[in-house]
A and B are shown apart, each in its own frame.
Chain A
Amino acid sequence: MFTRISTTLLAAALAAPFAQAQFNFDIDGKPVQIHSFGSQGFMASDQNNYLTTNTSKGSFDFTDIGGNISMRLTDNFRIGAQIYDREIGQLGAWHPQLDWAVADYRVKDWFGVRGGVVKTVFGLHNDTQDVDFLQTYALLPQSVYPTDLRDALIRHRGGDVYGNVSLGRLGSLAYTGFAGLRVDSLYGGYIYLLHGSGIFMNSYGGLQYGGDLKWTTPIKGLVLGASRMNEDITGKGTYDASIFGGPKDAPYEEHSLSDWANQFYGQYSIGNLTLEAEYRRWYRYQDIFNGFFTVTTDTRTWYADTSYRLSKRFTVGGYYSHFVADWGTAHFYPGNHLYDKVLTLRADLKNYWDVKVEGHFMNGTGGTGIPGGGLLYPDGFYPFNNPAGLKPTTTLLVVKTGFNF
């Protein structure tokens, strides 16, 4: 545990000279840039264990690291790739991922294409959610950006068309259209949740396509946007059928019948003050247990956030995050909602090193289920990490430090 912290701090210290020097060089006259980032967190909660870690006893299982290299081959053509790895309890479990590997050709400012493994542009923070130093918060609002379900929308193997169109006096419009394959890690929250039902996935993913429109309005500092995603997902694996007299590794499959998400967002910045709000609805109607059952989950979430940069070194922020796992089920059940009030202080000790201290005051346990019902949709809490039973409220302290160069 302490070795990991020391390693992270050592990495931050070693990063310092690179951060000052900007790690750029040329290969055959082509400019190359190398960047990296990492963070180490500590979480402690008063009651429930959170994010698959033993936070009730205090946990340092909150580490991530990433690095990328990019090269410009011509004025319009760039290539690059990034590796990312993390361990948050059972999430990530130190299995590195090819986070993105992209060839990008910008034909005109209003039209470009990129292909490969591509980060998905969706809302204000989807494609940057892993990069801790870009965020005011140690944990983004988990209603809209659940870190345990990041695989669901973080990237696709396919391509984008994108561009930025001037609207004259009406500002400008940035658009992205995407299509490709979603391929989930086997170390994500949904797959982990299924373990509790004796289901073990070997693969999970499928076709995913959609788009994002971001309008920079003529009102200085105001950005409005909307995103849409459709997908056709199949999960295959095994399940323990011994309670039905079957084998312990009976084939299991589930697939989506209708699966889509809408997101609407706005951001307003004036001076050192930033206000943000986002709303997401994710609708899933799927066959489960080899088609024996169907299940519908209509998840609706939103948050509102305010942050203020007090000085060059310090930023304060707070948000309210609202999660309802299934809109059609009574919201008052703790296992069908998670309402989170958050306060944060961020200190930028150097331009490459930050520390965040954050308090979460949570009501509910996400989509852990209602009396007589099954598990719905994870959002930080898991029954088998809380064998004594989940309590309806949780107070969580998060301390996190990160570096980048």
Chain B
Amino acid sequence: MKRVYCLVLAALAIGSAPAWAADIKVIANSSVGASSVSSDELKGVFLATKSSLSDGSRVEPVLLKSGATHEAFLKDYVGKTESALETYYRSLVFTAKDRCPSLSQATPR
């Protein structure tokens, strides 16, 4: 079973991500075959509606705990504020639709 983890750190933009969000980098396990990920795919992964990328790699979202990078990522890619996303995840948990994603201990640099 191939399982990889996405996580968000501050760096450079990748793939087809919009140029105006050039201070965001999405990091995945090296076993992921996809060389790029669309904004829609990324949004789907972090809203738990998508569990695999276009190459079939299974992914799970891992979020930063807080910070400006975290907030910018949510706004630009997920389309939700931090509180709205938290409410969204909890609504999944309390209706048996999904589990809460993991939080990364990593800090932006």
Contact = CB atoms under 8 A, between A and B. Distances in A.
B96 A109 contact: no
B84 interface: yes
Q: Which has the most chain A C-beta neighbours within 10 Å: B79, B93, B100?
A: B93
Interface in A42-97: 66, 68, 70, 72, 74-76, 78, 80, 82
Contacts of B91: 128, 131, 134
Given A172-B44, A309-B81, A22 B100 contact: yes
B52 A109 contact: yes
A109 B99 contact: no
A41 to B, nearest CB: 18
B40 A166 contact: yes
A272 B91 CA distance: 18
Interface string B89-104: 0110111101110010
Nearest to A221: B79
Nearest to A312: B83
Interface string A99-133: 01010101001000010001100000001100101
B23 interface: no
A174 interface: yes
Contacts of B93: 33, 35, 68, 70
A104 B81 contact: no
A100 B99 contact: no
Given A109-B51, A134-B90, A309-B83, A104 B96 contact: yes
Given A22-B100, A119-B96, A75 B86 contact: no
A312 B83 CA distance: 8
B79 A75 contact: no
B25 interface: no
What does DSSP make chain A's interface, helix, strand, loop or mixed?
Answer: strand
A74 B58 CA distance: 12
B3 A75 contact: yes
Given A75-B1, A128-B91, A134-B87, A172 B96 contact: no
Size bracket, chain A contacts: 35 or more
Interface in B19-66: 40, 44, 49-52, 58
Nearest to B86: A351
A109 B79 contact: no
B81 A271 contact: yes
A404 B83 CA distance: 14
Contacts of B49: 109, 164, 172, 174
Contact of A404 (B90, B96, B98): B90
Contacts of A68: 93-94, 96
Contacts of B83: 309, 312, 348
A269 interface: yes
A291 interface: no
A31 interface: yes
Contacts of A272: 81
A100 B95 contact: yes
Interface in A264-283: 269, 271-272
Contact of B95 (A119, A174, A404): A119
Contacts of A131: 90-91, 94-95
A75 B56 CA distance: 14
A94 B84 CA distance: 32
A128 B94 contact: yes
Given A68-B93, A128-B94, A404-B90, A33 B100 contact: yes
20 contacts: A33-B100, A35-B93, A70-B99, A72-B99, A75-B3, A75-B51, A78-B99, A82-B94, A82-B96, A102-B96, A109-B52, A134-B94, A164-B49, A166-B44, A172-B40, A220-B79, A269-B84, A271-B81, A309-B83, A351-B86
Given A68-B93, A128-B91, 17 more contacts: A33-B99, A35-B93, A75-B58, A78-B99, A100-B96, A104-B96, A106-B51, A109-B44, A109-B52, A114-B96, A127-B95, A131-B90, A131-B91, A134-B94, A164-B49, A166-B40, A271-B81
Of all A-B residue pairs in the complex, the 6 with the closest CB atoms, nearest first, are A164-B49, A102-B96, A127-B95, A131-B94, A119-B95, A128-B91
Interface of B: 1, 3, 40, 44, 49-52, 58, 79-81, 83-84, 86-87, 90-91, 93-96, 98-100, 103
